[in-house]
Homo-oligomer: A and B are copies of this chain.
């Protein structure tokens, strides 16, 4: 289950320039390397349960994880989708606030929490980068609040596809040429938990977008987008695609 044999060198790390360590100098990386270790999780495995003591923080290296909240009666809402380079955990907090689950096979670069916190106070580059990433996540969360509070089911689906496409593109997971294509990393039920819908509604709306020619499906998970502007229009977003600076 755990695998300490890969990526021992930060300099060769695929997320080196996007993760919380992005701004570190080589001497700072050396310090990080001393407190880091890798952990692997299988698809479906829970990384941490909400309320559990957290003895580490860390970054997603490969694979996809989700952050979810669950109510006593079982209603679930996904509050974060973690792609490679995203950060897990909150320095200064001892217990996890959300369930973290691996939706695909997952490799995480973990730092023991206490030494990481110490390093944060001595190494401003880490805190600076973490602030930047947290502000980005806050913006993403607020965009999601608009989706959850005000968008129709069809708009929610279209928005989700564009957001996943955008994030995949920024990670260069997609070949830049050819037709725009997206792999949904989630089951219909997980999408429902993400969008505040039921899995039946997700399925119906995906079918409807397909019937209307907005998307094409190859299998259940693989989508291609013949006309991105059309999809953006269906998402109900401002025409500029939500680009900010």
Binding site for B on A (CB under 8 A): 67, 69, 71-73, 75-77, 79-80, 90, 92-95, 97-98, 121, 124, 127-128, 130-132, 134-135, 137-139, 141-146, 148-150, 195-196, 236-238, 244-245
Contacts and interface: CB of A to CB of B under 8 A. Distances in A.
B245 A150 contact: no
Copies of this chain in its oligomeric complex? 2
Nearest to A73: B236
Contacts of A244: 93, 95, 97
B238 A195 contact: no
Contacts of A72: 236, 238
A69 B196 contact: no
A150 B196 contact: yes
18 contacts: A69-B142, A71-B238, A72-B238, A90-B135, A92-B135, A93-B244, A95-B244, A98-B142, A130-B131, A131-B131, A134-B134, A141-B142, A141-B145, A145-B145, A145-B148, A148-B148, A148-B149, A148-B196
A71 B124 CA distance: 38
A145 B71 contact: no
Contacts of A131: 127, 130-131, 134
A14 to B, nearest CB: 25
A146 B77 contact: yes
A143 B135 CA distance: 17
A77 B138 contact: no
A200 to B, nearest CB: 16
Contacts of A196: 148-150
A175 B182 CA distance: 55
Given A141-B145, A142-B141, A76 B150 contact: yes
Contact of A97 (B75, B94, B139): B139
In the A-B complex, the 6 residue pairs with the smallest Cβ-Cβ separation, listed nearest first, are A149-B196, A148-B148, A141-B141, A79-B142, A77-B146, A77-B149
A37 to B, nearest CB: 24
